Amino acid sequence: MKSQEKTFYIETFGCQMNAHDSEKVIGTLEHEGYRQVETEEEAGLILYNTCSIRDKAEQKVFHRLNDYKKLHKAGKRFGVLGCVAQQEGEKIFERAPYVSLVSGSASYRKLPEMLARLEAGETRITGLDDRQTEETFETEFTARQNPYRGYITIIEGCDKFCAYCVVPYTRGKERSRTSASVLEEARRIADLGYTEIQLLGQNVNSYKDPEGKLSFAELLAAVGQVSGIRRVRFTTSHPRDFTKDIVEAIDAYPTLCDHVHLPVQSGSTRVLKAMAREYTRDWYLERIAWIKSAKRKISLSTDIIVGFPGETADEFIETMDLLAEVQYDCVFGFKYSPRPNTPALVMIDSIPEAEKSHRLQVLLERQREIQRSNYANHLGEILEVMVEGQNPARGQIAGRSSQNKAVNFTTTSPIAPAPGSYMPVRIIATHPNSLVGEAV
């Protein structure tokens, strides 16, 4: 009967871990008899999978809830999932009383039970398992939304406690899946026709096989040898746990993509110490030197926070010098945002907003110049590109190189290549953020 049909809408904010969590949540809901719909208006249950990494990200969910709260009168139920849910907990019910479900990611394995309580009419259901949880969220009901890239979470949570960061509080403690279960999922993904796998973890290289069978580098190699898999990516690596054998694995197995995302956060050893990153500038640069001495040219990207409490103009220049030294292919730059519960919150956030914005702008402008010259080096090369989609307006096909660079290209073939297929492309023009080519 139509009126009894269970429907849900989900919107996801934040990182790839969150995006993949949503794939698992959707799979779980579908298994429980729910059908996903495209708009809040069509749905019986409205879910927001939230992010709390910076204040702006956190505000998004409260804007959404406010925009749609009128739908509560029409009998719709609201659930808040993810990092804001874990951080704010029951306070969300005070701020938005029409919300019936609040659950952090460490409690998703209890979703079927929470959904049953929701259907029975309960209004204040919480899943707020914190750092006590040892369990990971494994489900065979993943509804993969990405047609060409299969995500696999190999480690959940974070034990690093960087001074500025909410993640150790919102995602619980570091806990890894067994390598056997990861490899089984990799094989399942390959059987579904995926050729690209991305291994996920807030610190993916802190992976510790609970059965002690494989190290992270060995797991990379094993996933890279799964029949049918042509590309393996992994994100995010933490410098502290970055070992040389990761580079050796990339050299040994061409299926492991030639790209490492290694967040540095700051080029100043003093600031790194204040951030509790637990490495120095030199320690970080040593790891960069390993990566640069690989037989394959490995592309590097990073995250940087400007305006951390007490960051002086000279310390910011140290970060700028580090950019010039490393020559990243991509930098995600952020202004420091004070976050609840974090140790940095009590440090005096002494840098005016305008100065933070100025530093970010200087950083991103310099990085644009670096990328302009890095990307120009690809001119004339033939790269293997995995097709992701089309841009009919510009008559171009969009894809990505193994180094994760966007490549837009034309083909003389009358039939558009399918997403997920691979093509050799000659690079004929370059931009700071993308390459332009033609299929050969």
User: Residue 203 carries which side chain, given as an amino acid letter?
Assistant: N
* Residue choice 160, 231, 259, 261 for contact with ligand SF4 (CB under 6 A): 160
Q: Nearer to ligand SF4 by C-beta: 19 or 436?
A: 19
- Gap between the Cα atoms of 111 and 94, Å rounded: 22
Prior bond of 236 cis (ω within 30°): yes
CB 7 within 8 A of CB 45: yes
Residue 161 interacts with, from ligand SAH, ligand SF4, ligand F3S, none (CB under 5-8 Å by kind):
ligand SF4
Q: How far is the CB of 17 from ligand F3S (least distance, A)?
A: 5
Q: How far is the CB of 158 from ligand SF4 (least distance, A)?
A: 3
**Hey, what are 151's tokens?**
């995500």
Cα 85 to Cα 10, 88, 151, distances in angstroms: 15, 5, 23
* Interface positions, 67-106, toward ligand F3S (CB under 6 A): 82-83
Q: Nearer to ligand SF4 by C-beta: 77 or 339?
A: 339
* Interface positions, 186-205, toward ligand SAH (CB under 6 A): 202-203
Q: Nearer to ligand F3S by C-beta: 114 or 165?
A: 165
Q: Nearer to ligand SAH by C-beta: 117 or 173?
A: 173
* Interface positions, 2-31, toward ligand F3S (CB under 6 A): 14-15, 17-18
Q: How far is the CB of 280 from ligand SF4 (least distance, A)?
A: 16
* Residue choice 92, 165, 186, 189 for contact with ligand SF4 (CB under 6 A): 165
Q: How far is the CB of 108 from ligand F3S (least distance, A)?
A: 13
Contact range with ligand SAH by CB under 6 A, out of 23-31, 117-125, 336-344, 362-370: 336-344
User: Residue 61 carries which side chain, given as an amino acid letter?
Assistant: V
CB 251 within 8 A of CB 295: yes
**Under rule CB under 6 A, residue 168 binds ligand SAH:** no
**Under rule CB under 6 A, residue 219 binds ligand F3S:** no
Q: Nearer to ligand F3S by C-beta: 119 or 241?
A: 241
* Residue choice 65, 80, 101, 158 for contact with ligand SF4 (CB under 6 A): 158
Closest by CA to 219, choosing from 202, 191, 200, is: 200
**Under rule CB under 6 A, residue 299 binds ligand SF4:** no
Contact range with ligand SAH by CB under 6 A, out of 207-215, 329-337, 360-368, 383-391: 329-337
Residue 168 interacts with, from ligand SAH, ligand F3S, ligand SF4, none (CB under 5-8 Å by kind):
ligand SF4
* Residue choice 10, 24, 29, 52 for contact with ligand F3S (CB under 6 A): 52
Side-chain-facing half-sphere of 181: CA atoms under 13 Å:
16
Residue 328 interacts with, from ligand SF4, ligand F3S, ligand SAH, none (CB under 5-8 Å by kind):
none
Closest by CA to 197, choosing from 260, 261, 154, is: 154
* Residue choice 65, 166, 298, 326 for contact with ligand F3S (CB under 6 A): 166
Residue 52 interacts with, from ligand SF4, ligand SAH, ligand F3S, none (CB under 5-8 Å by kind):
ligand F3S
Contact range with ligand F3S by CB under 6 A, out of 51-59, 71-79, 107-115, 423-431: 51-59
Residue with tokens 């696999």: 152
**Under rule CB under 6 A, residue 303 binds ligand SAH:** yes
* Interface positions, 193-232, toward ligand SF4 (CB under 6 A): 202-203
If binding means CB under 6 A, how many residues of this protein chain bind ligand SF4? 10
Residue 378 interacts with, from ligand SAH, ligand F3S, ligand SF4, none (CB under 5-8 Å by kind):
none
**Under rule CB under 6 A, residue 271 binds ligand SF4:** no
Give the CA angle between residues 105, 106, 111 to the nearest 5°.
Answer: 70
Which residue's CB comes closest to ligand F3S? 14
Residues that bind ligand SAH in the complex, under the rule CB under 6 A: 53-54, 164-165, 167, 202-203, 236, 238, 263, 265, 303, 305, 334, 336-337, 339
Residues that bind ligand SF4 in the complex, under the rule CB under 6 A: 158, 160-162, 165, 167-168, 202-203, 238
